[in-house]
Structure 1
Amino acid sequence: MSTLREATELRVLIRSAAAGDDAVAEAISRLGPARVAATLVDEMVSRADLGEVGPLPGPVTVRFDLDFDGRTLAHSVSFKEGRVRHGDAGPDAARPVLVELELVALARAVFGGPMAPHALCRRIDWGDVDDPREFMVGVAAAPVVQRLLRGAAGEPARLDELALVNGSDKWGPHFYTPIYERHFAPLREQELTIVELGIGGYAHPGSGGGSLRMWKRYFPRALVYGVDMFDKSAAAEQRVFPIQGDLSDPDFVGGLAGRLGPLDIVIDDGSHACADVILAFHALFPALRPGGLYVIEDLQTSYWPSYGGNATNLHDASTSMGFLKQLLDGLNYEEHDGAGSSRPTRFDSMLVGAHFYHNIAVLEKGRNADGPMPGFVRQRPVTQVGRADRREVTA
């Protein structure tokens, strides 16, 4: 199996899929038709939830014949006892159900988003339906074929369900997925770069990555990066890129923006130590594109001394919540009275929104420069303005 795993190559394919058939065909030729075919099938498999298929009478093989520029590229998916493999079917594979598709149309369907018009014309050959044995093969394969093709149809899935399927703790131990869905749904079909700090599983190399898989599925056109101090290379898959590094190291954290940016979404689910949370925000919030979102999870540690928190002085700026509370006044920096008091801090001019929920905050990046209210409005309280003056002020 050879798929496009490099971020730059995947970005080329994703971007071209929304641009039109000619752009897709050019990208396929440049990247290699066989690699693109494998990439698209891999993506359909990752969206198919084949683990939810009930018991089957035997193994199932689905062969995709993908037509491009006069060639047919064959790619098989084998499903046996809950295990999936794709690539060459192998000599022991069951007789395949054949699905014929156009490679360009499939790329548009998988990565083009809902605004990219496409006609995914398909032909399915279930075998000799007059032969009872072959007919039963087709019947057994039907739910597998349906789920694989659903991966090209872009059917949305609820984020809480994706959290459960992929083993993310964002629904269950926490109840963050409704909050995420509220803020992330408008961005779902966009071409995005997402970074999550903290992959999970602690030092165990094979554990963690559930949230990365969840984001990959929820955002079908996104590249997802996970950062963890432990080696989590086992979590790598198409469109998911683990990075190892210490999130308490200013040099490493400071270099992430240049390495991965510009960014669209950052999710801090790392150590939750207050100093690390503040360090990451200083480094990565400026790297967000306008309209980007920065999420900080598990803010309860702001009150726990073992994480650098403080439950006595709730305005301690060295804690996560104390730091964030300071940012809130910056939303209105243009209204601050007093000589020199309206001079913006580093974040005042780029933070345009902040949403706080139980143990989680969502901050919006933009350009905070609407301008202050007119000076005459704030010269004295409205209660001290006479009736005639009030008419003048409100006219």
Structure 2
Amino acid sequence: MTEYAVRTQTDLKRLIRAAGACDDTIAECVKSIGVDAVVHAVMREVLDRTDLRGCPAAEVLFRLHGGAPPQSQGSDVVIRVADDGTVALATMSTASVTATVAQSLPEVVRSVFGPRGSASTATRVLQWTAESSPETFGRPDPAFETVRRLLDSIDRSYHASLAELCVRSGSDKWGVHQYPQHYERHFQTVRDRPLTILEIGVGGYDNPRRGGESLRMWKRYFPRAAVYGIDIIDKSSLSESRMTILRADQADPVDLARVLEITGPLDIIIDDGSHVSAHVIATFALLFPALRSGGMYVIEDLQTSYWPHFGGKAGVYDDMETSVGFLKAMVDGLNHAEIDNRAQASTDACVKGMHFYHNLAFLEKGENRDEGAPSWLRGL
């Protein structure tokens, strides 16, 4: 990562945290980062979230001001949707502006990056440029759909389901697998938090310019999160706002230590890497300590635990050198206080819950220090 990229991501994290506070706090953060930089960051996020496929061509001017009155410091930015479907962000409008959206910048920042339910349109003024005639009055302009989708991306940050975002992003977590239903069960309650997420495995195999579909899905599902991905192939060129890709071998302690220096403590870790049992187990040992209390560690594609090609063992179901055997032993750890003469494992006291689905496991980090049954009851 370049120094500029690090600084930009840091500023974005500051802005996201400020978006959950009052207008004065947001305004102070905007002033510190710079109005133009904030406006462009917010509108790039809007563009990233908006599915404009099939929309008519349009040029929408966003005039984002500092608050009331509208003459206070602000900045203009234009979203251009061409006839061929390409989308661009510009600073200059033309005579062909379809609509102008004027709104308070702090209000837009909160709507785009704030917690669930905080979106507001109190200061928004929408003006259509074209004058209607008696023949066209009351008939929807084709460009209405383009503007609607853009504004919905501001006002309804949490509307799309994970399965929808899977399909839009091209992730194989839906269709080939049926993971979104399980992910949403565990993640929907924390969707609006400023999380730090790490996914192991970027996709695209050996091609450095392919992959990142699932990372973009997570970025869109968690609109306030910083999303990181690692891959043994250098795919850093795929990085974008709120999504940073680092080269690292998932089983190399030196590589992972370097990754954690960049990410800091993690809230969610998803292992969708090599699926080799030895790698899965080694990665867990190295990364689980960096997971915050209350965080979730997810391991995908556990079917490989039964396939010898991936270090699994067909017909042997409790070998701790396989991914599933390793996890089964951790189930005993959940009940460690009830088991006499058991050698204590390092995870016994900090794995609070485990949830298993087809080829998928969730491990919840938290205090597991409940006392066991009284000794007199065990002897009955």
* Same-fold call, TM cutoff 0.5: yes
Aligned to 1:392: none
Separation of aligned partners in 1, 2:129 and 2:119: 31
Q: For 1:94, what is the secondary structure of its paired residue? A: coil
Tell whether the 8 Å contact from 1:18 to 1:115 is kept in structure 2 after alignment: no
CA offset at residue 71 of structure 1? 1.8
CA offset at residue 256 of structure 1? 2.9
Tell whether the 8 Å contact from 2:218 to 2:227 is kept in structure 1 after alignment: yes
Q: For 1:191, what is the secondary structure of its paired residue? A: coil
Separation of aligned partners in 2, 1:231 and 1:138: 48
Q: For 1:267, what is the secondary structure of its paired residue? A: strand
Q: Percent identity?
A: 43
Aligned residue type for 2:142: A
CA offset at residue 21 of structure 1? 0.8
Separation of aligned partners in 1, 2:88 and 2:348: 51
Separation of aligned partners in 1, 2:192 and 2:286: 27
Aligned to 2:259: 256
Separation of aligned partners in 1, 2:42 and 2:280: 37
Distance 1:135 1:227, change over 3 A: farther
Report the TM-score when normalising by structure 2: 0.91
Separation of aligned partners in 2, 1:125 and 1:90: 15
Aligned to 1:265: 268
Separation of aligned partners in 2, 1:4 and 1:44: 21
Aligned to 1:64: 62
Q: How does 1:75-154 map to 2 (within 5 A)?
A: 75-80=77-82, 81-89=84-92, 94-114=96-116, 116=118, 118-130=120-132, 139-153=141-155, 154=157
Separation of aligned partners in 2, 1:60 and 1:77: 8
Q: After the TM superposition, which of the residue ranges 246-255 and 279-288 deviates more from structure 2?
A: 246-255
Distance 1:3 1:24, change over 3 A: farther
Separation of aligned partners in 1, 2:63 and 2:119: 22
Tell whether the 8 Å contact from 2:112 to 2:119 is kept in structure 1 after alignment: no
RMSD: 2.4
- Of 20, 23, 36, the match for 1:21: 23
Deviation per residue, 1:306-351 (Å, 9 max, x gap) = 111111322211111111111110111111113xx3x632111110
Aligned to 1:206: 209
1:328 counterpart = 2:331:
yes
Distance 1:244 1:195, change over 3 A: same
Tell whether the 8 Å contact from 2:248 to 2:259 is kept in structure 1 after alignment: no
Distance 1:108 1:133, change over 3 A: farther
Separation of aligned partners in 2, 1:239 and 1:201: 20
Distance 1:120 1:167, change over 3 A: farther
Tell whether the 8 Å contact from 1:16 to 1:23 is kept in structure 2 after alignment: yes
Separation of aligned partners in 2, 1:27 and 1:300: 47
- Of 166, 171, 189, the match for 1:168: 171
Aligned residue type for 1:285: F
CA offset at residue 286 of structure 1? 1.6
1:300 counterpart = 2:300:
no
Q: How does 1:331-350 map to 2 (within 5 A)?
A: 331-338=334-341, 341=342, 344-350=344-350
Aligned to 1:391: none
1:34 counterpart = 2:36:
yes
Where do 5+ consecutive residues of structure 1 fail to align?
381-395
Aligned to 1:185: 188
Q: For 2:259, what is the secondary structure of its paired residue? A: helix
Q: For 1:289, what is the secondary structure of its paired residue? A: strand
CA offset at residue 72 of structure 1? 3.0
Separation of aligned partners in 1, 2:163 and 2:177: 11
CA offset at residue 259 of structure 1? 3.1
Q: For 2:143, what is the secondary structure of its paired residue? A: helix
Report the TM-score when normalising by structure 1: 0.88
Tell whether the 8 Å contact from 2:197 to 2:269 is kept in structure 1 after alignment: yes
Deviation per residue, 1:90-134 (Å, 9 max, x gap) = 76x733411101001111111111254745421111114246999
Aligned to 2:292: 289
Q: For 1:178, what is the secondary structure of its paired residue? A: helix
Aligned residue type for 1:31: I
Deviation per residue, 1:132-152 (Å, 9 max, x gap) = 999899823211111111111
Separation of aligned partners in 2, 1:332 and 1:155: 37
Distance 1:41 1:87, change over 3 A: same
Tell whether the 8 Å contact from 1:62 to 1:97 is kept in structure 2 after alignment: yes
Aligned to 2:369: 369
Q: For 1:318, what is the secondary structure of its paired residue? A: coil
Aligned to 1:46: 48
Q: After the TM superposition, which of the residue ranges 133-142 and 96-105 deviates more from structure 2?
A: 133-142
Where do 5+ consecutive residues of structure 2 fail to align?
none
CA offset at residue 75 of structure 1? 0.3
- Of 240, 247, 254, the match for 1:237: 240
Aligned to 1:277: 280
Is the radius of gyration larger for structure 1 or structure 2?
A: 1
